[in-house]
Every structure is written in C-alpha cells, then in structure tokens.
Amino acid sequence: MGHRALVAYERPDSTYNIHYTHWGGLNLRLKQEITPQTPFGGDTPSDQQQATYEQLQTATSVDTDAFEKEDDARVWIEPEVVGVTFDDVLETHLNYCSHEALYVVDADLRVTAYRTHWFGLQYDCESITDGARTGNGAVRTVRWHNGEPVGDGYVQGEFQALRDVVGDMVDRGVFTRQSAVGYMEQQLREWTGSNQELHVRTA
C-alpha cells in the first residue's frame, strides 16, 4: 500500500513542480531527508540529483525520457507536472484520501511537512456514498522537537475519530453533508496551534 505523499518544489517564478513519493508519508521522514545535497531524498549526497533539480527549476514541460531512476532517491525524479501554483496543488493535484502527506520545499530547500485530512465521509457513514478526493480536505503542519514530529500519530487518530463521530451524526440526520464538512473544518481550526499552518479546501 505504501505511505503516499506529494512533494511540491518551489521554482524561481514562485510556481511549483510536483513529484510523487510512495513511502514518503511514513513518519514524515522526508522533512529531514530532503537537503541541498539530496534534493530528492536518500542517504547519500548525489551530484545527479542536484543537477536534475537545477534543470527542473526552469523546465516548461515534462520529458519522460530525460530522467533516470535513482535507487537511493525517496522522491520520484520525474515530476508529475511543472509550473503550477500552490492553489493548484491544494485544489487539483493533492488527493486528500490517498496522499498521507504534502511536503513543500522552498527555493532554499527548506521543507515544510503537512499532514492531510480528507473531508470525504463515504467510508464513515451509510447515507453518503461518494465524495471528492481532490479539493476536499485540509493540510496541517505538526509540531517538531529534536527532528521528530510530536504527537503525529495522535493527530491522525484524533481526526479519524472526528470523522467517525461526524459520519454517525450524518446517519442520524443531525448533520447534512455540508454542515458535516463545516464542523470538521471548525474543529481543525480549533485544534491548530498559533505556530502551525492550516490550509482548507472544500468541494
């Protein structure tokens, strides 16, 4: 199954290149593994990674024949798309259901790690059978201490418990789909600390 995530690399024009990582969502590991020496993650500094990263900073299209696989890289070298806005990342490309995390890498290769929270309820109640997977959720940063995420598992469990309760309330007729999403958004805003970031998109 993997721990899927997206990585958005900032470009000089303030747009982003989006890359996929199959295991990068595990313990938010890429926050520490993406560095100027290993821009696509890994244990060993890579001149090839650095050269490819620089090339992609100004790429205008994705040439699938131009990228070689690197066994040590944690992030897929070939981007899914180049030159999109941050709003596009959140509204169109991030799958809030299957992507466990989003990493945003700024121009200095500093990494901000976000956990994703999906607002779809079709797996948590019987009266809703569908729900958008893109543009329908939130991303939130977590606290860090000594290079480790603090309470990351608790945060994920807390939101799943919220979805379970909200789904039950939908089945009982207490919430409509719209009010259920509004309630989840409200709770996330209340749970987000002053030093954290929260970005919400609703379908």
Output 138 or 71, whichever has higher pLDDT.
138
Q: Is the pLDDT of residue 70 over 80?
A: no
Helices marked H in the chain — which ranges?
A: 30-33, 47-56, 86-88, 152-171, 177-191
Q: Is the pLDDT of residue 69 over 90?
A: no
- Segment 119-124 shows an average pLDDT of 96
The pTM is what?
0.95
Determine contact, residues 39/11, Cβ cutoff 8 Å.
no
The pLDDT tens digits for 5-24 are 999 999 999 999 999 999 99
Rg for the chain, CA atoms, rounded = 18
Q: How far apart are CA 190 and CA 149, in angstroms?
A: 20
- Segment 41-67 shows an average pLDDT of 88
Neighbouring C-alpha atoms within 13 Å toward the C-beta of 114 = 25
Q: How far apart are CA 178 and CA 162, in angstroms?
A: 15
Q: How far apart are CA 158 and CA 173, in angstroms?
A: 23
- Segment 75-102 shows an average pLDDT of 97
- In a 3-state reduction of DSSP, which class is residue 190? helix
Neighbouring C-alpha atoms within 13 Å toward the C-beta of 23 = 6
Which residues are CB-contacts of 111 (< 8 A; sequence separation ≥ 6)?
30, 31, 34, 103, 104, 105
pLDDT of residue 152: 94
Q: Is the pLDDT of residue 54 over 80?
A: yes
Mean residue pLDDT of the chain comes to 94
User: Where do the domains of the chain lie?
Assistant: 5-201
